[in-house]
Amino acid sequence: MPPLPRDYHGVNWTGATTLYMKEVKRFWKVGMQTLAAPVLSSLLYLLIFVVAMKGLRPSVHGVPYSVFIGPGLIMMAILNSAFANSSSSLMQAKMQGLTQDFITPPLSPTEQVCAFALGAATRGLAVGLVTAISVLFFVRYNIVHWWAVAYFGLGAALMMGMIGMVAGLWAEKFDHMAAVTTFIVMPLSMLSGTFYLVDRLPEPFRSLSQYNPFFYTISGFRYGFIGQADGSIGIGVAVVGGLTVVMGAVCWILFQTGYRLKS
């Protein structure tokens, strides 16, 4: 079979696009699990913290608590879904012996990283969009800064997609992946300021939150909706952009060396 065509820059657009579409179709076929389930989880959080406790929560940053928590729930859905997509995809490929599907074709490490990262980001943003539409039935909110919503939404999806790629390559069995989710992803999500202001946390959790990248994604994303942020927007922009670049480089090295893919 002849190699897939490349343009004059040497990019295998056909192969990269095919791998990306494979990732999208993979989660789309089980939409009830990959799209509906995260939205349901977000709505349950909203039901508990807003509807069931209506009137018991004071306003935050001058907005109703429901408006404060809404963007955080949307961002949590984006983060968790993007991570789950890339990590589960690579983990399943290794367990089922399907890594040759993307190792054998003439795909460079850059093309592989981009395809998996964009596939994860697509799922994250799709879940975030459906969650946002669902939340609208309970919470009325406006978008104040479109650039912040777009930057932190896309940046968080790409960042978590690449973190999921590293986890998926590292894990040798599903117990390892469960440990990463339980002891790293979940604590970072719950201690990110989704349901509260971080400055109300006792020490050392308040200080530690300043080193939590999830905190900056949620704070920046919420800033796009209400115009207020818990932390520095400038630092948040740098953290999300910098960590995305760093994780992209790490993923490139892992694919370049065939880390736990060729053995």
Nearest to 213 by CA among 24, 79, 118, 88: 79
pLDDT of res. 58: 67
Token readout for 66 is: 């429901």
Q: Provide φ and ψ at 87, rounded to 5°.
A: -65, -45
Contact 230, 219 (CB under 8 A): yes
pTM of the model: 0.90
Token readout for 132 is: 């946002």
The pLDDT profile of the chain, 263 residues, written as one tens digit per residue, is 444 444 445 788 899 999 999 999 999 998 888 888 999 988 888 888 776 666 556 677 778 888 888 899 999 999 999 999 999 999 999 988 888 888 888 899 999 999 999 999 999 999 999 999 998 888 888 899 999 999 999 999 999 999 999 999 999 888 999 999 999 998 888 888 888 888 877 788 788 888 999 999 999 999 999 998 888 899 999 999 999 999 999 999 999 999 988 75
Contact 231, 219 (CB under 8 A): yes
Question: Bridge partners of 63?
Answer: 60
| Domain locations along the chain | 13-257
Contact 183, 192 (CB under 8 A): no
Contact 233, 249 (CB under 8 A): no
